[in-house]
């Protein structure tokens, strides 16, 4: 495995080929004092203004409550973190906006409203609005005077967004567009002042984006959706019937809407990965405290191995999600700076960097949403019967979590996006996967990784490099077998995607553990890294074998399975003791906090 070139920032997807320099891996502990103060300010706002009203928000006792809270967030500057100061924003770094999304994630319904407003409703204007449009709308969106919504999904076009039936027709005098269509699942729809609406002009192949203000004739809505979770967020179907808007309310260029949607969704995906973290920590803390207080058989249930197992896995998965999100966020940030040095303006640099790391954005979305589901499910289980009661603090997070695997593109679509993107990058020679895969397949030597407890991290990285060869083997074999038909082999693509995800998760977790360990020699980092190895190696082995046996004959499959087994053969840690050590560490701390876990 090659060492990375240190002269420039890393490239999206490059982690599959190169051994990453630890100095280039940002971890949550690297945030500076100013960023931590911003996090504290956001947390104070949530604890005083939002969290105490959680029940009222969910019950929708006051329809004005959510927009009022967004206005208060705007007054604190929380709605314009990534917007330039000329429009009232704070012009903060990409990873700082990730940190705030992380913290807001504990609030469920408010988090959805906040994310929709600051992300998919505001960013299209930031990146694609002309000067007049930005001047007219961005200040209001940043201050909270205006609330935004994003209208893409239709009854018959969810994941296949470009198949939408909404249409725009230019008037004879070319002064206005007439919009007709139906949009559904529109977050903030009930109170939004501004809609970013996607429709096709005449018989165009691709969507165009439009800015539509509320209150125009022809805009009608169905009642609020009665949802499984995030009940306090506004979700409406919106109908546009001969809605007339000025012709200069096109956002960006004609037929650029699909591109706008994809770029904004890439940002939404990585922000969603970070956005689950606050919720995970909240559930972990409740679970820790309850398990210490709940007495069964004359002992607190926290003393039982089954509970320690659950707590440890909840914590390790959350730790790993933090590791991948802030690593990817900083990689994007460094690439933005590099593009600016090369002469691009800030908007161009941000869009180019985010597109470059679309694979990592999808990984963060998939892993984050799935570990959130895991954490809340185990939280309910730790509470037992009480976990099923609305009186306990588990029911709402359990309901709220489920949507995360669906919006910003379903996890299945995102898995195929990961592999499809890497195939495209390989074909264009943007990343050298095919050449490396061919070499691994031709070499085909069985691996033998020797673990040394005296050099734990070095041994662990030898394993990671071997796992990358395992990926290159199954990726290359599938590409050779299916050629351009691989996109129809969704099961194989999802198997390969799960291998990629686990490699990124494991490597990121190891790098963070090593960085912390080098700083303070906290031995819990060894335990967390062992737990991550144990979890991810089994996932990689399972999905690699499932991938090859789905299309190879028995003889070829056996050869590939032998290679996969050799790549995934590693030290058998006493995982029971590892999990108990991790659980005991945080039971003693009484919390899994945003900062200061490992001092």
The total of other beta-carbon atoms located within 10 Å of residue 575's CB is 15
**Which residue(s) pair with 154 in the sheet?**
157
Query: What is the per-residue pLDDT across 213-232, written as a single tens digit (0 to 9) for each?
Result: 999 999 999 999 999 999 99
Mean pLDDT of 491-514: 98
Structure letter (DSSP) for residue 46: I
pLDDT given for residue 194 in this prediction: 98
Hey, where are the domains in the chain? 424-589
Query: What is the per-residue pLDDT across 563-587, written as a single tens digit (0 to 9) for each?
Result: 999 999 999 999 999 999 999 999 9
Q: pLDDT exceeding 70 applies to what percent of the chain?
A: 98
- For residues 337 and 23, what is the distance between their CA atoms, to the nearest angstrom? 17
E strands along 282-328, which residues? Answer: 295-296, 299-300
Mean pLDDT of 321-332: 97
In this structure, the strands spanning 235-246 and 219-221 are antiparallel
- For residues 334 and 434, what is the distance between their CA atoms, to the nearest angstrom? 27
pLDDT given for residue 5 in this prediction: 44
Residues known to be catalytic: 408
Residue 6 in this model has a pLDDT that exceeds 70? no
Beta carbons within 8 Å of 449's beta carbon, 6+ residues apart = 459, 462, 463, 466, 569, 570
Mean pLDDT of 293-316: 97
3-state secondary structure 59-80: HCCCCCHHHHHHHHHHHCCCCC
- For residues 426 and 366, what is the distance between their CA atoms, to the nearest angstrom? 22
pLDDT given for residue 16 in this prediction: 96
Residue 10 in this model has a pLDDT that exceeds 70? yes
Q: Classify each residue of 508-520 as buried b or exposed e, where b means 16 or more C-beta atoms within 10 Å of its C-beta.
A: bbbbbbbbbbeee
In this structure, the strands spanning 194-201 and 208-213 are antiparallel
Q: Which of 544, 529, 525 is nearest to 575 (CA)?
A: 529
Q: How confident is the model at residue 244 (pLDDT cuts 50, 70, 90)?
A: very high
Q: How confident is the model at residue 156 (pLDDT cuts 50, 70, 90)?
A: confident
Q: What pTM was computed for the model?
A: 0.96
What torsion do the CA atoms of 75, 267, 280, 597 make, to the nearest 10 degrees? -80
Residue 3 in this model has a pLDDT that exceeds 70? no
pLDDT given for residue 162 in this prediction: 81
Q: How confident is the model at residue 145 (pLDDT cuts 50, 70, 90)?
A: very high
Structure letter (DSSP) for residue 121: I
Q: Domain 424-589 has what CATH class?
A: mainly alpha
């Amino acid at each position: 495995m090659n060492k990375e070139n240190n002269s420039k920032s890393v490239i999206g997807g490059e982690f599959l080929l190169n051994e990453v320099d630890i100095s280039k891996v940002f971890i949550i502990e690297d945030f500076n004092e100013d960023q931590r103060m911003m996090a504290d300010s956001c947390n104070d706002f949530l604890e005083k203004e939002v969290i105490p009203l959680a029940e009222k928000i969910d019950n929708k006792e006051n329809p004005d409550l959510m927009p009022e809270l967004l206005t208060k967030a705007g007054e604190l500057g929380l709605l314009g973190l990534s917007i330039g100061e000329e429009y009232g924003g704070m012009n903060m770094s990409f990873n700082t906006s990730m940190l705030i999304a992380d913290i807001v994630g504990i609030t469920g319904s408010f988090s959805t409203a906040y994310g929709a407003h600051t992300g998919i409703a505001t960013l299209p204007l930031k990146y694609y609005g002309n000067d007049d449009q930005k001047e007219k709308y961005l200040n209001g969106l940043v201050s909270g005077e205006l609330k935004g919504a994003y209208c893409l999904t239709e009854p018959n076009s969810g994941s296949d967004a470009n198949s939408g039936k909404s249409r725009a027709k230019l008037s004879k005098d070319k002064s206005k567009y007439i919009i007709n269509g139906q949009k559904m699942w529109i977050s903030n729809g009930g109170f939004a002042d501004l809609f970013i609406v996607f429709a096709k002009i005449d018989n165009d192949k691709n969507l165009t984006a439009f800015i539509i203000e509320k209150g125009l004739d022809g805009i009608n809505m169905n009642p609020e959706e009665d949802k499984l979770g995030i009940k306090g967020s506004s979700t409406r179907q919106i109908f546009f019937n001969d809605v007339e808007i000025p012709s200069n309310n096109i956002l960006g260029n004609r037929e650029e809407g699909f591109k706008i949607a994809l770029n904004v969704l890439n940002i939404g995906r990585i922000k969603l990965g970070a956005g689950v973290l606050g919720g995970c920590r909240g559930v972990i803390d409740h679970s820790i405290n309850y398990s210490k207080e709940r007495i069964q058989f004359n002992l607190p249930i926290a003393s039982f191995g089954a509970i320690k197992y659950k707590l440890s896995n909840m914590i390790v998965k959350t730790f790993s999600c933090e590791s991948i999100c802030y690593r990817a966020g900083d990689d994007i940030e460094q690439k933005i700076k590099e593009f600016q040095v090369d002469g691009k303006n800030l908007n161009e640099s941000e869009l180019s960097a985010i597109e470059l790391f679309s694979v990592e954005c999808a990984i963060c979305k998939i892993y984050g949403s799935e570990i959130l589901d895991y954490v809340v499910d185990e939280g309910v289980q730790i509470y037992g019967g009480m976990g099923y009661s609305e009186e306990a603090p588990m029911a709402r997070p359990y309901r709220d979590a489920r949507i995360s695997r669906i919006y910003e593109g379903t996890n299945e679509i995102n898995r195929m996006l990961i592999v499809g993107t890497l195939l495209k990058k390989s074909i264009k020679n943007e990343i050298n996967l095919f050449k490396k895969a061919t070499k691994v397949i031709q070499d085909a030597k069985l691996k033998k990784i020797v673990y040394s407890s005296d050099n734990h991290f070095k041994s662990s990285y030898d394993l990671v490099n071997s796992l990358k060869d395992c990926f290159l083997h199954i990726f290359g074999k599938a590409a050779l077998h299916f050629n351009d038909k691989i996109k129809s082999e969704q099961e194989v693509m999802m198997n390969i995607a799960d291998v990629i995800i686990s490699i990124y998760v494991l490597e990121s977790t190891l790098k963070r553990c090593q960085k912390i360990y080098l700083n303070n020699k906290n031995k819990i980092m060894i335990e967390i890294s062992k737990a991550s190895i144990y979890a991810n190696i089994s996932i990689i082995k399972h999905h690699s074998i499932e991938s090859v046996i789905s299309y190879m004959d028995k003889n070829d499959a056996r050869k590939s399975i032998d290679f996969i087994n050799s790549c995934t053969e590693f030290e058998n840690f006493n995982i029971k003791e590892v999990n108990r050590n991790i659980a005991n560490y945080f039971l003693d701390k009484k919390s899994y906090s945003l900062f200061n876990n490992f001092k």
